[in-house]
Structure formats: structure tokens, C-alpha cells
Amino acid sequence: YLEGSDQHRGWFQSSLLTSVAMTDKAPYRACLTHGFTVDEKGYKMSKSSGNGVEPTKLAGDVGADIIRLWVAATDYRGELSFSREILNRTADSYRRVRNTARFLLGNLFDFDAAEHTVALDDMTELDRWAIARAARVQQQIISAYDEYSFHHVYQAVHQFCAVDMGSFYLDILKDRLYTAKKDSVARRSAQTAMYHIMEAMVRWIAPVLSFTADEIWNAMPARPADYVFTQYWHDLPAVADAEQLLANWREISAVRDALSAELEKLRKDGAIGSSLQAEVTVYADGDIHNQLARLGDELRFAFITSTAEVQPWSDKPEEAIEPDANALADVPGKIAFVLKPSEHGKCVRCWHYREEVGQNAEHPELCERCITNVAGEGETRSYA
């Protein structure tokens, strides 16, 4: 049974008493109660009060999926607050989900899962992290659906799209997607991860963002059936070292966030135009030193800088910047940065500032990596 809280002494009670008297059992398997919809002042919305909103008109203005997302985002066990401001915030959240799906679909245009899927053991570490993270989120979402906790579904999907994907994974991935050789393992590994994420995500949102899920499903390459609504949850590959991967990249991400805050200060001061114009030296100790150092030259891809190297904490110079300790609370070790604008030439293809730009007579405007990707066998990536 699904009714408002006023039915505890109404339909819920009368049907229960009648059923128990006649059949000696409750008439329902589950009883779900929701609160009332109230306006921005906290008053109950109703036609008689004149503060109600016509759903069909609202759907015509903003779309049915945004209304559905607003309902899902609210803990219905209490009062459901409604206003244009709340709806606008919901629309912003919706756009994050939609833009994530659009990015994934846009970069799967030449991917055939049957032909191009990269085996889990051959994928880059960051791509395996993405699959492991998606699997963790899927567990949370399934559990939330089972408990009718739709606001927890919303929170998990929003966090995944806005933070895990938008602010971290997809941001790092752009370099590999746009500059690696078309059929290289590096690029196909990224597409394999995105394929699995898209297959999982469209199922996550289908019960709430039904029209959007249907639109995404129809745009997906080689979809297994006509309707997403008849599908089970996507069977994400099981990443053997998932727990360690999640922990490792959570720490790397925290360092990256702290670095980004310092780079933003340089950008505002006019010292650099973008993070790619920066050269970074990280001074670290403890486990985080080893975490960062093992990425080698690929650390710059995780940081989205032109160079990045790791040095022991004992070599830290006086001018090194130590970030706010709160930002690195979960990082096992000390961190400090030395940042400077690059003095090298800019590769016109990948936009990295590299010492070797201008040294190749056949490709004077390209860095060594891009020359390998354009005229050679293509670069190899292990981590990012």
C-alpha cells in the first residue's frame, strides 16, 4: 500500500482491520507512507489554498524527468518541499547525469564490445578503478532501491556523475581518448571501462529518469534488447584487487584535489593559463610517496600537468607549498608542492609543454609522445 501519512488512521487502518477480521492476515505485504508536498513557506500545497502547481503544465515547462528526479531526491518520509528554486537545483543535477551519459556515448562511437573489449588484466589501472567504483556504486543503488530509499539512489548517482566521473575519471581520460592511437590498448581500455559504466548507469537511472534512460538506450551501440526497462542490472566485471585499487586512487585523488587548488591560485595570478602549463614536483613521505612514485611519468596524466615528479620529503625546499592539512586528512603521509610555469614549447596536438617539442624535423610542432601516436606504434599506458 502507498498512501500519505494521513491514511494511518484512514485507509491503512480500516483495510487492516477488515482484512484481519475476514482472513486473519494483513491485506498488504508492505506499507509505504509519504509526507505532504509543501511550498517554500512550509504550507501544504492544495487547490483550495491556491498554492498548488498543475503537474502537466510543469512537465511541459521542465520535462517529466526533472519532476521525477525532484521526487526521488527528496526523503518522502517527511514533507516534500517544492519551489522553483528547488526545481532549478534539480535541473542542474539532471544535467550532470545527462552530460555524463552524453560524454560516454560520444566516445563510444567506434567501439564494438564484441571486437574491441580489452581484458581486465590488460586494462590500465585507472580504468580498472573506474569499473570497481561503478560496481561499488551499483551495490549501493540496488540496496537503496530494495529499501525504497530513492533519495539514496539519487545521491549515489549524483556523486558518481559529478565527482567520480566529471571531476576525476573523465577529466583524466580525455587525454588518452583524444591523443592515443585509435586502436591502441590505451584507448580501447578506456572505452571498455566507459562501455561497462554506460551499460550499468542507464539501468541505474531507468526507474527514475525513465525518458532519459530510454533515450540513452536507443543511442547505445549494439544494445541487447529493445527496452532498457526489461533488463537486469549490468554484470560488471569483478576486479580482483578492487578494495586496494579504490583505496589507492582515493589517496591519489585527494592529492590531486589539493594540487588543483594550488594551481588555481597560480591561474588567478596569471602565472599559468591552464594546469597543463605547470610543472609539478611533489615532496612526500610514507605510503603516499610510494603511491605517487609508482605511477612514474604517468603521474602527469593523473594531475593533468605537463610534468610531474616525486621527491622524498627530506629534500623539500623552503619554498615548497604545504596544502591545508584538512584536505589531506586521509592521505598516509606528508605532501608539499613546488610549482612553476613551463618554459618549454607547447605540443599543438596534446597541448602539453614538453622539452622535445621542436626537436623532430618531420614533426616540429609535436611532442615525442604524439609523434609515437601519429607515426609510430602508439604509446603504452599502465596506470593513467
Which residues, in sequence order, are CB contacts of 222 under 8 Å at separation 6+?
112, 113, 114
Short-list 253, 277, 282, 255, CA closest to 266: 277
Q: 143 and 344 in contact (C-beta within 8 Å)?
A: no
Which structural domain, as residue segments, surrounds residue 33? 2-82
User: Using an 8 Å Cβ cutoff, are 134 and 200 in contact?
Assistant: yes
Phi, psi of 238 (to 5 degrees): -85, 115
- For 100, the enclosing helix (H) or strand (E) is helix 84-106
Note whether residue 246 is domain-resident: no
Do 134 and 210 sit in the same domain of this protein? Answer: yes
* Residue at 179 is within a domain: yes
Same structural domain, 66 and 92? no
Q: Which residue has the cell 625546499?
A: 317
| Domain count along the chain | 3
Domain identity same for 35 and 118: no
Longest dimension (CA), the chain: 93
Beta carbons of 192 and 122 less than 8 angstroms apart: no
Residue 134 within any structural domain of the chain: yes
Tell me the three cell numbers of residue 151: 533519495
Cβ proximity of 217 and 202 under 8 Å: yes
Output the CA angle 213-217-219, nearest 5 degrees.
Answer: 120
Cβ within 8 Å of residue 11, ≥6 positions away = 1, 3
Confidence at residue 223, expressed as pLDDT on a 0 to 100 scale: 79
The answer as to whether 362 is a domain residue is no
Q: How far apart are CA 69 and CA 204, in angstroms?
A: 13
- For the record, the C-alpha cell of 155 comes out as 545521491
Q: Tell me how far apart the alpha carbons of residues 14 and 91 are, in angstroms, rounded to a whole number.
A: 40
Please identify, among 23, 47, 82, the residue that sits at the C-terminal boundary of a domain. 82
Q: For strand 278-284 and strand 335-341, is the pairing parallel, antiparallel, or unpaired?
A: antiparallel
Q: Are 384 and 373 in contact (CB under 8 A)?
A: no
Kindly report the CATH number assigned to the domain that includes residue 183. Answer: 1.10.730.10
- Are residue 91 and residue 137 in the same domain, yes or no? yes
Say if CB 130 and CB 245 are below 8 A apart.
no
Residue at a domain's end among 60, 82, 104: 82
| Residue 160 lies inside a defined structural domain of this protein | yes
Same domain as 268, residue 218: no
* Predicted local distance difference test score (pLDDT) of residue 35: 84
**Do 304 and 260 share a domain, yes or no?**
yes
Q: pLDDT tens track of the chain, all 384 residues?
A: 888 888 878 888 899 999 999 999 999 888 888 888 888 888 888 777 777 787 888 888 889 999 999 999 999 888 888 888 999 999 999 999 999 999 999 999 999 999 999 999 999 999 999 999 999 999 999 999 999 999 999 999 999 999 999 999 999 999 999 999 999 999 999 999 999 999 999 999 999 999 999 999 999 987 778 899 999 999 999 999 999 999 999 999 999 999 999 999 999 999 999 999 999 999 999 999 999 999 999 999 999 999 999 999 999 999 999 998 888 988 999 999 999 999 999 999 999 999 999 999 999 999 999 999 999 999 999 999
Q: Are residues 273 and 213 in the same domain?
A: no
Q: Which of 230, 260, 290 is the last residue of a domain?
A: 230
Does residue 275 sit in the same domain as residue 203? no
Residues 178 and 265 both lie in one domain? no
- 34 is a domain residue: yes
Distance, CA of 65 to CA of 83 (rounded, Å): 16
Are residues 196 and 106 both part of a single domain? yes
In a domain, 236, yes or no: no
Cα separation of 77 and 61, whole Å?
A: 27
- Do residues 202 and 261 both lie within one domain? no
Report yes or no on 383 lying in a domain.
no
* pLDDT the model gives residue 79: 87
The DSSP output letter for 42 is S
Residue 1 confidence (pLDDT): 82
132 and 201 together in one domain: yes
